[in-house]
Amino acid sequence: MKTFIASAFVLLICTAALLSTTEGSPTYLRCKCLQTYSKQQIPAHRILSLRMIAAGPHCKNEEIIATMKKGETCLDPTKDWVISLKDKFSKRNVTSPQ
C-alpha cells in the first residue's frame, strides 16, 4: 500500500510540473491571412501601417498585413505593387545614424 501511495504522489508531482510549463498565452500555429488581396493597387497614403510576418513554423507563406482606417487587409506578397509598397514602408522605418 505504501508503494501505491508513493507512486501516486510521484505521478501527481510530475503532472503538476508538466502543467506549470504550459502557462502563458496559447500559440496558434496557423496563417493569419487565409485570403490575400491582389487586385487594384491600394494607394500608400491610405495605408496607416504595414506589418510583415516572415514565413516560419506557423505558416509557410510570408504575410503582409496592411492596416487602414476601415480595418486590416492581407496583401499578396508576390505582386509587384505590394513589393514596392513593402520597400517604401521599410525605408520610412529606417532611422538615420547619429
Distance CA 82, CA 60 (A): 18
Q: Which residues contact 81 (CB under 8 A, 6 or more apart)?
A: 41
**Structural Rg of the chain based on CA atoms:** 23
CATH numbers and ranges of domains, the chain? 27-92 (2.40.50.40)
45-65 b/e (C-beta count within 10 Å ≥ 16 → b): eebeebeebeeeeebebebbb
What's the rounded mean pLDDT across residues 1-16?
62
Residue given cell 496558434 in the structure block: 28
Task: Dump pLDDT digits (tens) for 71-97.
Answer: 999 999 999 999 999 988 888 765 545
pLDDT at 83: 92
pTM of full prediction above 0.85: no
Q: What does the pLDDT look like over 13-68, one tens digit per residue? A: 645 555 554 444 455 568 999 899 988 999 989 999 999 999 998 899 999 999 99
Burial of 75 (0-12, 13-18, 19+ CB in 10 A): buried
State residue 30's pLDDT score: 86
Q: What angle do CA 36, 32, 73 make, to 5 degrees?
A: 40
The pLDDT of residue 6: 59
